[in-house]
Amino acid sequence: MFQPGPDSAFRRANPLTRLALVAAVAAMLPLWPAPVLLAALAVVLTGGAALGFGRLLAWRMVLLMLPLAIALAVVQGLLVPRGPVAACGPLACYPEGLAYGLRVFARLTLLLGIGLVFVMTTRPSDLARALDGAGVPPSISYLLTAPLALVETVGQEAREVRDSLQLRGFSARGGLRARVRILAAMMNPLARSLITDAPARAEVLEMRGFRAFPRRGLIDPIQDSAAEIRLRRAFLVLALLQLGLAAA
């Protein structure tokens, strides 16, 4: 998931500062209307372009959110009764349902966008070091960083399984049917490999004394400054303030 790019203050920032920004943006979702959320999404996409992966970020978001957008428009605008009926071309639709679907779409898209920016600028090892430096217990640190690290491992194993299947005559160049066929053939060996590797990973953690101490010492901790600490606190205060206003 991590994408290298030009050096910038955002990339040099402590991973916890970027995580606090994610929390502040996530707290916007239940409070602000769809136009504000879409404007924030435009800022996120612009930031992704400045960080060097704007096209990849946009492609991933379109790939993930386009099916959801179509489903929300059909279900909320055409199938679920919500408010008065209006004419949408040759179809009868529910404008209130479309507005509700747009609000849900804006929330999920903004959350996905800021989450992708975080994982595409943060190495799991750097996040683990930052959490350890902040005194987070190793079990919680592992819970937060293991999924990010596992994505790379699963991706590499999936590529190896795909290559071995292609050597055995499977091909993904014959259209949708061929892609579905090779994907179905990949599931069994990939799942078996992940299940087989799980005990080995657990043994490695135990050999390293994973839970021997409540905190872990670091040889090369992530550098942190007083200004970043104040900025993180400001992001967290902003997040709590928005959640309080949304609950009021």
DSSP string, 220-245: SPPP--HHHHHHHHHHHHHHHHHHHH
Q: Would you call 143 helix, strand, or coil by DSSP?
A: helix
Distance CA 28, CA 246 (A): 9
Phi-psi region of 218 (alpha: psi -120 to 50; beta: other; left: phi over 0): beta
- The pLDDT tens digits for 61-118 are 999 999 999 999 999 988 888 888 888 888 888 899 999 999 999 999 999 999 999 9
Q: Give the per-residue pLDDT at 138.
A: 76
> What is the CA 64 to chain-centroid distance, rounded?
11
- Mapped to the 3 state alphabet, what secondary structure does 154-182 carry? HHHHHHHHHHHHHHCCCCCCCCHHHHHHH
pTM of the model: 0.79
Distance CA 222, CA 18 (A): 13
With 0-12 / 13-18 / 19 or more C-beta atoms within 10 angstroms meaning exposed / middle / buried, residue 202 is: exposed
Q: Give the per-residue pLDDT at 125.
A: 83
- The pLDDT tens digits for 38-69 are 999 999 999 999 999 999 999 999 999 999 99
- The pLDDT tens digits for 118-147 are 999 988 888 888 888 888 777 777 777 777
- The pLDDT tens digits for 161-201 are 777 777 777 666 666 676 777 777 777 777 777 677 667 66
